[in-house]
Amino acid sequence: MRALTIDVGTSSVRAALVSDDGNVSHVTQRPLTLRSPSPGEVELDAAEIASVALELAHATLRDGGRADVVAITNQRATTIVFDHRSGQPVGPALGWQDLRTVFDCLILQGEGIRLAPNQTATKAAWLVKQSGVAPEHLRVATIETWIAWHLSRGESFVTDRSNASVTGLVHRDLASWDLALAERLDLPSTMLATLVDTMGTCGRAVALDGAPPIVGLVGDQPASLFGQSLVNAGAKITFGTGAMLDMVSGEASPATMTRFDSGCFPTVMRSRDGVVTWGVEAIDFSAGSCVQWLRDELQILDDVNDTSALATSVPSADGVFFVPAFNGLGTPQWDFGARGAFFGLTRGSSRAHLVRAVLDGVAQRGVDLVEAAETHLPAPLAELRVDGGMTANPYFVQRLADLLGRPVAVSAEREATTRGAGLMALVGAGALDGADVEALWRPRYVAEATIGDDERHAQRAQWARVVERAAATIPELSAISF
C-alpha cells in the first residue's frame, strides 16, 4: 500500500510516494516565493502554494503510479483567509514567523489573553480585518486545510488536531474551538474548519486520478517525529532553518497550553479515533540559517557542504564562540532581544575558526533544547534522533553527540517529515500499526560521544557564560514575553 504525501514547507513544496515498508520514492519538489515586505513580516502566495502542490502531486503520480491514500503535512500556523464562494485568498499567506501582530498580542495580554504572534489566531484576525469582505463569506485556513480544500474541490474544510493545537483558538481538550476567544477576535464560528483526527479519512482527493481518500493531516514537526519511528517515546531534533525538538509524552493532557517553566511547550503529536497523543516541543530560531549566512552574507563559503572540511581543518575553534541568535533565543531563555554574536576573536582567527564556531554554537543550542525537554522526563534520553539539512554535516553531528554525551542517530531519510506523514496515512488506513512503524527505523549512522564527562561539563559551563553575554542585546525586545 502506498501514500501520496504532499509536504508544504516554509520555502518549498515536496510530493512523494511513501510505501508501507517506509520507502520514499518519486520525489518532486519546487521552491515557493517567500517575501518580507517589512522587517518581521513573512508572506507567501496562497494561490501559488495550492497550484504548486497540485502540480507536484500530479507529477509524482504520473511518474510513480497510483496512490491508495493521501497525506498532507505542513508548516504549522501559517495562515490563509479565503472567500469560500470563489476559493480565492483575500490576502497573502502569513508565514508562521510573521511578527506583524506583536502589538495585538500585547494588547490581548492586558486582557488576560495569552497569544503569540507566531500562532494563527491574531494572523487570521489581521487578514479578516484588512480583507474588506463580509465575515460570513470568509474561511480561515492553515496550510493542510487549504490543500485539502483544493484536493477535494471545496468539499473538505478540515484541520487536524496537531495543527489546531498551535492556532491559539482551540480548547485544551481539543474537542472544540474556543468560540468566546474567536468572537473576541471577530472570527465567527463559520470561519473555522471542522476538527478531525490526524489519522483518519476526512475527504477524497477528487482533483487527483482515482480520487484517493485523504487519510492523514499533520503538522511538520509531529510528522518528522513519526518519520523517525518515534511512536510512544523518544525525541528528535530537525535541524533546518531553525531547530525543532519534539518528544512524545503520552496521552495525559497538560495542565496548560501555555509555555512551561522549562521553556518548552505542550503540543499535539497526533490523534486517532479521538485519542490524542501529546508531546513536548522546544525551539531554536537559528540553525541552518547561520550556515547560509556564512555563505550568502559573509561570503566566506562558496558551498555549505564545505563547512565540515573547513571545521576539521583546525584542531579547535581557538577560543572563538558563536551564539546563533539572529532572531533572539528560543528555548529555554525566550529572549527576543538577544542577538547573534562572535566572542573570543583575535587577529589569528581564520575563516575555519569562524565556521567551526558557528557549527559548535548550533550544536550547543541543540543540547540546550534536549536539556530543557528532559526536565519533563523521569530519566535522560537514551539517544537523540536527528534529521534536516544540517545532518549532512558529519562534523556537526559528531559535535552534537560529544556535547550531549549520548548517541545521536541520523535519519536515513533526511526529510523525515515526508516519510512520517505518509506512514501516518498508512496507519490511518489500517495498513500499518505503531509497532510496525517502530520496526522500520534504520538510521543512516549513529554518532557516539568521543569526549569525557569532565571535558563536556566544562564546555557546557563555558557555553552558558557566553550565552549570558549575548542576552538582552535589545532590552526593549527582551522585556516582551508571549
pLDDT number for residue 385: 98
90, pLDDT greater than 90:
yes
Give the mean pLDDT of the chain: 96
Task: Give the pLDDT mean for 258-279.
Answer: 94
pLDDT number for residue 22: 96
428, part of any domain: no
pLDDT number for residue 327: 86
Task: Give the pLDDT mean for 7-24.
Answer: 95
Instruction: Write out pLDDT tens, residues 226-264.
Output: 999 999 999 999 998 899 999 999 998 888 888 999 999
10, pLDDT greater than 90:
no
pLDDT number for residue 11: 86
- If pLDDT is split at 50, 70 and 90, which confidence band does 461 have? very high
- Is residue 242 domain-shared with residue 172, that is, in the same domain? no
Q: Which of these, 283, 236, 111, 281, lies nearest to 185 by C-alpha position? A: 111
- The CATH number covering residue 123 comes to 3.30.420.40
- Is residue 315 domain-shared with residue 461, that is, in the same domain? yes
- If pLDDT is split at 50, 70 and 90, which confidence band does 134 have? very high
- Is residue 196 domain-shared with residue 259, that is, in the same domain? no
Report pTM: 0.94
pLDDT number for residue 69: 98
Residue 239 is part of which domain span? 229-410+451-482
| CA–CA gap between residue 154 and residue 74 (Å, rounded) | 19
pLDDT number for residue 401: 98
Q: Could you say which of 220, 246, 271 is where a domain stops?
A: 220
- Is residue 105 domain-shared with residue 11, that is, in the same domain? yes
* Alpha-helix residue ranges (DSSP H) falling in 258-349: 288-296, 307-312
113, pLDDT greater than 90:
yes
- Is residue 247 domain-shared with residue 188, that is, in the same domain? no
- Is residue 213 domain-shared with residue 302, that is, in the same domain? no
Spatial neighbors of 136 by CB under 8 A, at least 6 apart, are 188, 190
- If pLDDT is split at 50, 70 and 90, which confidence band does 151 have? very high
44, part of any domain: yes
Q: How many domains does the chain have?
A: 2
**Looking at the DSSP assignment, which residues form a beta bridge with residue 235?**
247
- If pLDDT is split at 50, 70 and 90, which confidence band does 39 have? confident
Neighbours of 137 (CB within 10 A): 15
Share above pLDDT 90 across residues of the chain, in percent, rounded to a whole number: 94
| CA–CA gap between residue 127 and residue 52 (Å, rounded) | 23
**Looking at the DSSP assignment, which residues form a beta bridge with residue 279?**
248, 267
Spatial neighbors of 70 by CB under 8 A, at least 6 apart, are 3, 4, 5, 6, 57, 151, 205, 208, 212, 213, 214, 215, 216, 425
128, pLDDT greater than 90:
yes
- Is residue 69 domain-shared with residue 150, that is, in the same domain? yes
C-alpha cell read off for 256: 496548560
101, pLDDT greater than 90:
yes
- If pLDDT is split at 50, 70 and 90, which confidence band does 17 have? very high
102, pLDDT greater than 90:
yes
pLDDT number for residue 145: 98
- Is residue 317 domain-shared with residue 172, that is, in the same domain? no
Task: Give the pLDDT mean for 328-338.
Answer: 95
C-alpha distance across the termini of the chain, in Å: 44
Residue with the three cell numbers 517529515: 417
Task: Give the pLDDT mean for 89-96.
Answer: 96
